[in-house]
Structure 1
Amino acid sequence: MTAVAIIPARGGSQRIPRKNLKPFNGVPMIVGSIRTALRSNLFERVVVSTDDEEIAQVARAHGAEVPFMRPAALADAFTGTAAVIQHAIGALDRRYDYTCCLYATAPLLQPRFLRAGLQALQAAPEKCFAFSVCSFGFPIQRALIITEDGSLDAMHPQYRDVRSQDLAEAYQDAGQFYWGRSEAWLRGEAMFARHSLPVILPRHFVQDIDTEEDWLRAEYLYAALRAGGELEL
């Protein structure tokens, strides 16, 4: 079994400028993801895909490889992750059985979750992917919307009077990692499909980071998890 970790990290983050290099817990954000990947002992290589020379220098200084620079055509705000991973797989000098996309902005990711994802995929040869998810904190069927006149309304009126315990539990993409068979990545198989497996994370280990408010909440969560001894350091 061979596996490679690929960390996408473009230089042009818009909502939080230079997000991948902004200090988190005393080091550039991307360093946490690199260290987690290395600490898991699952990967023959930890590769960063970037178009930015400063990100490349930081990545190399902390144990990752940057064997190629990402083309500008794959480094804009509209390019999806799958295209970046496909390019990276093709740019490497050999093919690995498993490719794990690991986001640069996943400071709460733990090696044990990565191990669980690989184990799940290895145990199910008919599946293509295994990735991090967590449950929603409230039934999504009972979501509310604000109408054009500023009033509240039910997004799904048919569930307005259904007890929450009678509604199916829903899960969200936790935005941390995506294990996949390399051939499935290259074929462009859909991620959110029945050939994928869930790696269910506790909600207090999940925080997507797109805004300054997200960043602050991630810092609070990290501090609390560290104080509670839940982080693998």
Structure 2
Amino acid sequence: MNIAIIPARGGSKRIPGKNIKSFCGKPMLAYSIESALASGVIDEVVVSTDDEAIARVAREYGAQVPFMRPVELADDHTGTSPVVRHAIATLIERGWELDHCACIYATAPLLSASLIAEAYGLLEAASMQAPKRDYVFTAARYSFPIQRAILQTASGGVEPFDSVGITKRSQDLPPAYHDAGQLYWGHHTTWLDSRRHIFGAHSKMLVLPDHLVQDIDTPQDWVRAELLYKLLQQEAAG
């Protein structure tokens, strides 16, 4: 079966209780769960958490919480991949028969069910082609060429990030992209192999428009995300 794993630990500092804080009337986590279940390509949603309050909300909205995340995987320094590997390994030990796995972040209210299905379709298609792709993830294009970025020096002055690129016209520079921080699809065996990195040559991007991408790390980010979500809902309603 295909599953979605949603990492959702407690203890957010910049936005306390971020994963279950009310976002446009529902707990933030609910949006990722509901989109995954509505996608048509995910059989079960599993939330990996160390927090009982998050676990209760997850179950309320249709996800499973078959285990609690170990303390050593719930600190500020543990990355996403070890958490997903732990979840997959634990589920296999408990007899789950897994196929593909989507890692979906708990703070992805702009990620729709159709995008989850589209990314899965890209991964399936890529598995039939050469070179085979390990992962498909959502990404967005930088609006300004990163080669023309400027750094501030320790003395308060400035220096170019790229001394060659900053001298070129924008149209002469290749576009650059960034991880959208929403969705990552891969086969469960790919996730379990720590040598196969998401941001490597054998991955593929599903590039999204800017209005579907918003980091939610600060209170200001939260306000922008709510505004974007409301606009998308109004647009969908006609």
* Alignment correspondent of 1:26: 25
- Determine whether 1:212 maps to 2:222: no
SS in 1 for 2:46: strand
Worse-matched range after superposition: 10-19 or 174-183 = 10-19
Q: Secondary structure at the match of 2:222?
A: helix
CA contact (8 A) 2:149 2:166 kept: no
Kept in 2, the 8 Å contact 1:113–1:201? The answer is no
Greater Cα offset, 220-229 or 53-62:
220-229
Q: Which runs of 5+ in 1 are unaligned?
A: none
Within the alignment, does 1:88 sit opposite 2:51 as a pair?
no
State the 1:160 CA deviation.
2.0
Question: What residue number does 1:114 align with?
Answer: 116
Within 5 Å, which residues of 2 pair with 1:51-130? 51-92=50-91, 93-125=95-127, 126-130=132-136
Look up the SS of the partner of 1:165 in the other structure: helix
- What is the TM-score of this pair, normalised by structure 1? 0.95
Cα distance between partner residues in 2 of 1:186 and 1:160? 40
Shift of 1:149: 2.8
Between stretches 89-98 and 198-207, larger displacement belongs to: 89-98
1-side partners of 2:63 and 2:89: how far apart?
18
SS at match of 1:132: strand
Alpha-carbon shift at residue 16 of structure 1 (Å)? 1.1
Residue 100 of structure 1, CA deviation: 0.4
Instruction: Give distance in 1, aligned partners of 2:205 and 2:181.
Output: 12
Would the alpha carbon gap of residues 172 and 230 (structure 1) be closer, same or farther in structure 2, given more than 3 Å must change?
farther
> Could you tell me how far apart the structure 2 residues matched to 1:22 and 1:32 are?
12
Does the 8 Å contact 2:37/2:43 carry over to 1? no
Consecutive unaligned residues of structure 2, counting only runs of 5 or more, are none
Identity %: 49
1:195 alignment counterpart: 202
C-alpha distance in 2 between matches for 1:91 and 1:212: 35
Number of corresponding residues: 230
Q: Aligned pair 1:185/2:191, yes or no?
A: yes
Aligned to 1:132: 138
Are positions 1:41 and 2:26 aligned together? no
Q: 1:152 aligned to 142, 153, 158, which one?
A: 158
Cα distance between partner residues in 1 of 2:85 and 2:237: 34
Structure 2 residue matching 1:85: 3-state secondary structure: helix
Shift of 1:230: 8.0
Distance in 2, matches of 1:164 and 1:158, equals: 12
Residues 230/190 of structure 1: CA separation in 2 closer, same or farther (3 Å cut): farther
- Find the residue that maps to 1:123 and give its secondary structure: helix
Q: Secondary structure at the match of 1:200?
A: strand
Q: Is residue 133–residue 203 contact of structure 2 (8 Å, CA) maintained in 1?
A: yes
SS at match of 2:110: coil
Whole-Å Cα distance in 1 between the matches of residues 112 and 47 of structure 2?
Answer: 18
TM-aligned CA deviation for residue 173 of structure 1: 0.1
2:122–2:136 Cα contact (<8 Å) kept: yes
- Structure 2 Cα separation of the partners of residues 131 and 26 of structure 1: 28
- CA separation in 2, counterparts of 1:222 and 1:144? 32
Is the CA contact 1:49–1:88 (under 8 Å) kept in the aligned structure 2?
Answer: yes
**CA RMSD of superposed structures (Å):** 1.3
Partner of 1:172: 178
Give distance in 2, aligned partners of 1:13 and 1:163. Answer: 41
Distance 1:230 1:149 in 2: 53
SS of equivalent to 2:9: coil
TM-score, normalization: structure 2? 0.93
